Structure 1
Amino acid sequence: MGIEKIASDRKDKEHIDLKKKRKRRRKIVVSRVQKLYEICKKVFANCEPGVVLSPENIERVKAVLDKMTEADVGLTPSMPYFKSTLSHRPPKITYLHIHECDNFSIGIFCLPPKAVIPLHNHPGMTVFSKLLFGKMHIKSYDWADNLLRESTPNANIFDNGEGDRIAPRFAKLKVNSEFKAPCKTSILYPADGGNMHCFTATTACAVLDVLGPPYCDPEGRHCQYYYDFPFVNFSVDGLSVPEEQHSEYAWLKEREKPEELTVAGALYTGPNLVLK
């Protein structure tokens, strides 16, 4: 009896040990959306408007985004968001809200072919944009006020048709290229990297955006739209740019939100996000 009990106890212990080993081997799968949220929560925790994240923190966010595809957020190109319409109006854009707090926001823009997000700014913000699928043309600018002479701040004043006088600002072209997924994450900074940009969908496409901090009207971070004019359209006394570089500069004039821009919110249906 004693020998039988020892053998039985040994089998029980071996069975328990085997279960423990299997449990250790069993990995908990964390979605990429969850990983992105948790990293953003850390890197944007103490980031004030206008402050550039450290290169290490930039890379932490980028490393997750670079690997993401439409499957990671529950999207497929066949969804209604990406269908063309027969309307004469520009295609409607759909925005899928994933998360927003005081420090950052995560969301997805779904664009049918030929849809356009007009030229707009990101005041005091760092923005990560990941093209999940499709092809898109991106045009972006940074301010180039440092090239203007202080003696000509009011040159070339525009009239907005409502009795106000609005001066254009001088800008340098940063990007004017087509991007095709899969591709690396685009990053713009508060004062560099193409803070004013325009998206034009060459094909149906989806863009995942991370903004830190997000837009906030009470804090002065509102979305401002712009017209862009070629450099040669206007002249400023004292401003000299070599002729071969004329295409690298432009004049940006503020405008109201374009009437043709339609962005509709929709429910995000991808992997659940566990807020911590």
Structure 2
Amino acid sequence: MKVETSSNDEREKRAAGAKRNGKKLVARKRDCRRRTRRRVQAASSAIQRLFLACKSVFKGPGTVPEPPDVQMLQLLLDKMRAQDVGLSTDILFFKAKNTSKRTPRITYSTIYQCDNFSICIFFLPPRAVIPLHNHPGMTVFSKLLLGSMHIKSYDWVDPNASCNPTSSERLRPAKLVVDSDFTAPCNTSVLYPTTGGNIHTFTAITPCAVLDVLGPPYSNEDGRDITYYRDYPDTKYSVGAAEQGGRKDYRIGWLEEIDLSKDLKMDGVEYLGPQVIDG
């Protein structure tokens, strides 16, 4: 058996050293806890939850999210507010009055983009217009975060018909889905590849911020390029057999494909809100 022969002085030194080491160990643990809390806070933010949901819901080109997944994304977006992406009505954009006679410039921030989906914010000053445009093969969620705007949207009467490019037959019928004013906070709108108002236009009444989720995003390579239209509203249109109670009335517009207006100006700006953590 080994006999401890340390003196009292040695024991006191070891005790003091252990005490100092203990303090350092506690300090390190506290630092780790602080770092962990910050990471957890970032990972549990509203935009992070939305990002993770998008990663699980969107499966790539040629797919449409299942109804339960659509409902989940809607619920997440319905709860989101401007501050969740770092916005406030106190910033200059939402206070400045646009007195210029020039076409108001639209700005946008990309929060995240991959092959399967994109998340971005559009900022529209008063009177700014995003012209009537389509979303080929895409499912789109739009959440008005701030301001008031007018939204008008159409679906093709016959989604499978192709537009004849000849000058005499360039108009194609589309049924009107939405033609109303919206003010934040309001529920999220969802449009699908052929239903829900796939072709839409935004007109800002006040300064606006719109959070958009597109799955998949636009792509020239995959044939999901954007097309712009001019609409010519028409009268009520009826389909179905009246005697069977199957007649449906809706308003139509005749849509004409147009070139992108030179007056449409969009500037990309850096996203400065809460960041998403990928991986």
TM normalised by structure 1 equals 0.77
Q: 1:231 to 1:74 in 2, by over 3 A?
A: same
* 1:223-234 to 2 correspondences below 5 Å: 223-231=226-234
Task: Give the letter aligned to residue 119 of structure 2.
Answer: I
| Residue in structure 2 matched with residue 235 of structure 1 by the alignment | none
Q: Which amino acid aligns with 1:62?
A: Q
2:109 to 93, 96, 107: 96
Offset of residue 167 of structure 1: 1.4
Asked if the contact 2:149/2:206 (under 8 Å) is kept, the reply is: yes
2:238/2:249 contact within 8 Å kept: no
CA–CA distance in structure 1, aligned partners of residues 239 and 57 of structure 2 = 39
Name which of 238, 255, 260 aligns with 1:257: 260
CA distance in 2, matches of 1:169, 1:63: 35
What residue identity is the alignment partner of 2:53? I
**How far off is 1:218 after superposition?**
1.0
The alignment status of 1:35 with 2:38, answered yes or no, reads: no
| Contact 1:95–1:266 (8 Å) recurs in 2 | yes
Secondary structure of residue in 2 paired with 1:40 = helix
Q: Equivalent residue of 2:116, what SS?
A: coil
Letter of the 2:218 counterpart: Y
Letter in 2 for 1:134: G
Instruction: In structure 1, list runs of 5 or more residues that go unmatched.
Output: 1-15, 160-164, 233-238
Are 1:75 and 2:87 an aligned pair?
yes
Structure-1 residue corresponding to 2:65: 53
Aligned match for 1:214, one of 212, 217, 220 = 217
Residue type of the partner of 2:45?
S
- For residue 217 of structure 1, give the secondary structure of its aligned residue in structure 2: coil
Cα deviations across residues 80-102 of structure 1 (Å, max 9, x unaligned)? Answer: 44434332222111101101000
Matches within 5 A, 1:141-220: 141-145=154-158, 159=167, 167-220=170-223
Distance, in Å, in 2 between the alignment partners of 1:38 and 1:89 is: 40
SS at match of 2:89: coil
| TM-score normalized with structure 2 length | 0.77
Distance between the aligned counterparts of 2:225 and 2:61, measured in 1? 16
After superposition, the Cα gap between the structure-2 partners of 1:249 and 1:35, relative to the gap in structure 1 and judged at 3 Å, is same
What's the CA shift for 1:147? 11
Deviation at 1:250, TM superposition (A): 0.7
Determine the structure 2 residue equivalent to 1:12: none
Q: 2:9 maps to what in 1?
A: none
Count of residue pairs the alignment pairs up: 239
- Aligned equivalent of 1:64: 76
Deviations 1:186-206 (A, max 9, x none): 000000000000011111111
The superposition leaves residues 123-154 of structure 1 with CA deviations (integer Å, 9 ceiling, x where unpaired) of 00000000011111110000002799x9xx86
Q: Partners in 2 of 1:80 and 1:223 — Cα distance? A: 31
Q: What letter matches 1:220 in structure 2?
A: G
Q: Secondary structure at the match of 1:218?
A: coil
Moved more, 54-63 or 139-148: 139-148
Instruction: For 1:147 and 1:170, locate their aligned partners in 2 and report how far apart those are by CA, in whole Å.
Output: 12
Q: Which runs of 5+ in 2 are unaligned?
A: 1-25, 241-247
For the pair shown, the structure with the greater C-alpha radius of gyration is: 2
Superposed CA RMSD in Å reads: 3.1
Contact preservation (8 Å) 1:84, 1:91: no
Deviation (angstroms), 1:79: 2.7
AA aligned opposite 1:213: P
Q: Note the alpha carbon deviations across 1:153-191, whole angstroms, 9 max, x for none.
A: 86xx874xxxxx661111000001111111110000000
Shift of 1:231: 2.2
2:120 counterpart (98, 101, 107) = 107
- The answer as to whether partners of 2:116 and 2:217 remain within 8 angstroms in 1 is yes
* Equivalent residue letter for 2:258: R
